[in-house]
Amino acid sequence: MKSTKYDVIFKPFTERHFIKTFAKKYMSAWDFTRKTITEEFEKIGFLFQKSIAEYITDKNADIVICKTEFKISGTQESRHGSGNRCIVAIHKSENKVCVLLVYHKNNLSGHNETAEWKKLVTENYPEYKEYCK
């Protein structure tokens, strides 16, 4: 995965929901942040080397679900401290990364962040349901 370049696709559900909130709150800083996130996902293998991303499902499978952290451009927060996360599906054979969720951990309603994002993925992306058991 290190040298592979991936196409990055932001799925409609994430565009309509949490991304809208980031865009409204951070305006031009969000535009720059989104561009940075896209560039990072194009070479997603490097994020695993830096421990910025973690595998949620079997890393050797053709489709892998991962969680990453990001910070908003121009803020003083660290990636981890910001509470901003992305859930992505890496399709190795197709060389694409599908961005399923972009959220701040406070956007999720329950006490268990992982359970909440898995529920959102299961409800909104039937094609990834089997990966969120």
The reply to whether the predicted model has a pTM over 0.85 is yes
Domain span at residue 13 reads: 7-132
**pLDDT tens-digit map of 34-67:** 999 999 999 998 888 887 889 999 999 999 999 9
Determine, yes or no, domain membership for 26: yes
The strand pairing partners of 102, in sequence order, are 86
Query: What are the φ and ψ backbone dihedral angles of 108, each rounded to 5 degrees?
Result: -90, 140
Number of domains in the chain: 1
Provide the CB-side half-sphere exposure for 99 (13 A, CA): 26
Taking the CA atoms of residue 38, residue 85, residue 102 and residue 89 in that order, the dihedral angle to the nearest 10 degrees is 70
CATH number, residue 39: 3.30.2310.20
Determine, yes or no, domain membership for 12: yes
